[in-house]
Amino acid sequence: MADNDEIICVDLDGTLIRSDLSWDSAKKFVKKNLFNVFKLVFWYFKGVPYLKYRVAKEVEVDPSALPYNSDFLSYLIQRKSEGSKIYLATGSTEKYAKQVADYLQIFDGVFASDLKTNLVGKNKAQKLAKLFTNGFTYAGNSVDDLHVWKKSSKKILVNPSEKARKAMRSVEHTLYKS
């Protein structure tokens, strides 16, 4: 049984789902019109948060059609039923993160990229460490998550990249592969 104070923060892209919403949305945007690639370049030079925001304004996502990692999602549902507080912490935009959270109905809160901050790596680590001073469990999949795992009290690797797996080899963690 999980204790009521356990906090689990979950990455979206590559962890909860088996794809990357920002990348997939950018590809859809270019497929609409090949010349949209120039808009992407222009937006990129205004910053990654701005790029993600603009793409999200242009491309709709259906959260029911996303490729969820079903084994890991089942684990989260179980932990939620045992009293854990679960938060979505993602580099995807607030728009997409809130759509996923509304669809799944298991999250106690959402932290996502906005117009000013790309919530990945050090940015995500700092935010979560500041919010959850008594510790938190973090579930991620990539080397970008190393900064967050360093700040977390427990680590969950979900379908990790080879680099992430190697970097975490000597650190106690839970591994989910599917």
CATH value at residue 122 = 3.40.50.1000
Give domain status of residue 87, yes or no. Answer: yes
What was the pLDDT predicted at 164?
84
End-to-end CA distance of the chain: 24
Give domain status of residue 164, yes or no. Answer: yes
Q: Is there a single domain that holds both residue 115 and residue 44?
A: no
Q: Is there a single domain that holds both residue 57 and residue 135?
A: no
Q: Is there a single domain that holds both residue 32 and residue 97?
A: no
Q: Is there a single domain that holds both residue 28 and residue 87?
A: no
Q: Is there a single domain that holds both residue 55 and residue 94?
A: no
Q: Is there a single domain that holds both residue 29 and residue 96?
A: no
Q: Which domain holds residue 25?
A: 21-63
Give domain status of residue 2, yes or no. Answer: no
What was the pLDDT predicted at 178?
60
Q: Is there a single domain that holds both residue 11 and residue 73?
A: yes
Q: Is there a single domain that holds both residue 14 and residue 96?
A: yes
Give domain status of residue 31, yes or no. Answer: yes
Helix (H, G, I), strand (E, B) or coil at 147: helix
Give domain status of residue 55, yes or no. Answer: yes
Q: Is there a single domain that holds both residue 114 and residue 34?
A: no
What was the pLDDT predicted at 141?
93
Structure-block tokens of residue 27: 């590809």
What was the pLDDT predicted at 2?
46
Number of domains in the chain: 2
Give domain status of residue 171, yes or no. Answer: yes
- Averages of pLDDT over each 10 residues, the chain, 178 residues: 75 96 96 96 96 96 97 96 98 98 98 96 97 96 93 92 82 66
Q: Is there a single domain that holds both residue 108 and residue 30?
A: no
DSSP-H helix ranges across the chain: 21-32, 36-44, 48-58, 70-81, 94-104, 121-131, 146-151, 162-167
Residue 18 is classified by DSSP as S
Give domain status of residue 26, yes or no. Answer: yes
Give domain status of residue 71, yes or no. Answer: yes
Strands of the sheet containing 154-158, edge to edge, are 109-113, 85-93, 7-10, 137-140, 154-158, 174-176
What was the pLDDT predicted at 1?
39
Q: Is there a single domain that holds both residue 104 and residue 122?
A: yes
